[in-house]
Structures are given as structure tokens and as C-alpha cells.
Amino acid sequence: MTAVLTSALSLEWWLTPLSGAGDHHLPDWLVWHARSMVAAWGVLLPVGVLAARYFKVTPRQDWPRVLDNRAWWHAHRGLQYLGMSLVALGALLAWNRGAQASALAAWHHWLGWSVVALGAGQLISAWARGSKGGPTAPSMRGDHYDMTSHRRWFERLHKGLGWLALALAAAVIATGLVTADAPRWMAGLLGAWWMLLAGLAWQWQRQGRCIDTYQAIWGPDPGHPGNRLPATGWGTRRHFDGSRPSDTSN
């Protein structure tokens, strides 16, 4: 047991490939494929999802007197576009390469392309989300303000497929690390990063910060048509008493 702990604390142990091999060489295309995909699916896209889920109302925002804080929107859109640009680069680098190296590489290949397809679908669905409408737009009528069936289906698909893509991406990254026999520090660092994100998400969820997009934009007044419909998505908060999102917890 002591020997295992000593090895885990050794720099040499962390620099060693997962298999324990003493030699580790990868082609340039694989190195840059891994870097771009990990940066996208391991860092940028999850942070963009958390920004959209928990920062529609920021901690110092005087909600509901101050509405439609678009900081979350700019963060989410910027991170997702940048992330998907890296995904496109990573997919291009891996095109027609490496799928037959092993059975695990074949799984990584097909799961990876499935995640790329889901990511592309997320971009397409975002462009097809419909019109906004409401008091903050030139026209009151709009898919979002009226919460038309088009908008409700968009929210269900966009949120559901987004979480599915992140879950599959974690599996793809894990199989990629093993296939490439990556250094142990990479797996350890990614695991710690994801645990940090999961811990923050758990804390923000307990604080009630996953507020409904509709109310973040237009407030809790029941006179708004969307406030008379159920909120979309698991764990989404609605507030009709004027309390701030952080005033409540699960």
C-alpha cells in the first residue's frame, strides 16, 4: 500500500503512459486531434452549458427588477461556437484514420462521430429556435414569448440532446485516452476538472440558480403567456413571489 501511494506521488509515475509503457510516441495528427477535442468537449462546451443553465440571472443582478441579462447568452454562444470550431478541426484531423487500430479504437471512432453529429445538430437546432417576441423585442408576438409548440420542442430537444452529447463525449475522451495510451497526468487532470464542474453544478442547483429562461428574460408576472405553462427541463426553477433565485434551495 505504501509503495502504491509513493508511486502515485511521484512525478515520474504521472508522466508515465496509462499502460505503464516506458516509450510513448504519437503521430502529429493524433496529438492535435486529441488536444482540440479535449479542449472542446472537456472544457469549452461543458462550461458553456453551465453558463446557460446557472447564469441566466447573475448573483448581483437585481432580478426581477432587472431583466434579460444577456451575459449568459453571449458566454454560451461564444463558448459553443468556439468549441464546435475545435470539434470540426479535430474531426478533420481524424478523418479516415485510426479506426482499425483496435476494437477500442473502433468504439472511439464511432462514438466520436456520433458526438460530432450531436454537436452539429445542436447548432442547427439553435438556428431554428424561432422568433423571440415579447416586450423586449420589436414585436410582442414570437415563438419564445408565446411559448409556441415550436419553441417548446426546441427547448426539449436542445437541452436533452446537449446533455446526451456531453455524457457521450466523456466516454469518447476516456476511450481516446486509453487508445492513445496518454500520460497518467492527463487522465488525472481531466478527472479533477470534471469533478470540480460537477461540484459547482451541484452547489448552484441547490441554490436554485437554474432559473427558467422565460422568467430570466420577462420576469415572473403570471400575465406573460409562457408563465402559464410548465417550465421545460429537469430542475428548472420558477419564481412567482419576487424572490431571487439564490433565495431558495432544494
Percent of the residues in the chain that have a pLDDT greater than 90, as a whole number: 77
The reported pLDDT for the residue numbered 214 is 96
Q: What is the pTM of this model?
A: 0.90
User: At 247, is the pLDDT very low, low, confident or very high (cuts 50, 70, 90)?
Assistant: very low
- Identify the CATH assignment for 26-247 out of 3.30.450, 1.20.120, 1.10.287, 1.20.272: 1.20.120
Lookup: cell for 167? 455524457
Each residue's pLDDT tens digit, 56-98: 999 999 999 999 999 999 999 999 999 999 999 999 999 988 6
φ and ψ at 183, to 5 degrees?
-60, 150
Q: Which DSSP category does 234 fall into?
A: T
- Does residue 225 have a pLDDT over 60? yes
The reported pLDDT for the residue numbered 139 is 87
With contact defined as beta carbons under 8 Å apart, do 48 and 75 qualify? yes
Rounded Cα–Cα distance for residues 175 and 203 (Å): 29
- Does residue 246 have a pLDDT over 60? no
Rounded Cα–Cα distance for residues 24 and 28 (Å): 13
Each residue's pLDDT tens digit, 47-66: 999 999 999 999 999 999 99
End-to-end, the C-alpha distance of the chain in Å comes to 40
φ and ψ at 2, to 5 degrees?
-65, -40
The reported pLDDT for the residue numbered 244 is 61
The reported pLDDT for the residue numbered 71 is 96
Each residue's pLDDT tens digit, 117-133: 999 999 999 999 999 99
Exposed (0-12), middle (13-18) or buried (19+): which is 165, by Cβ within 10 Å?
buried
- Does residue 110 have a pLDDT over 70? yes
Q: Which DSSP category does 232 fall into?
A: P
The reported pLDDT for the residue numbered 3 is 57
Mean pLDDT of the chain: 91
Rounded average pLDDT over 147-176: 96
- Does residue 99 have a pLDDT over 90? no
The reported pLDDT for the residue numbered 113 is 96
Each residue's pLDDT tens digit, 33-47: 999 999 999 999 999
Handedness of CA 59, 46, 216, 133 (dihedral sign): positive
Each residue's pLDDT tens digit, 163-193: 999 999 999 999 999 999 999 999 999 999 9
- Does residue 249 have a pLDDT over 50? no
With contact defined as beta carbons under 8 Å apart, do 21 and 181 qualify? yes
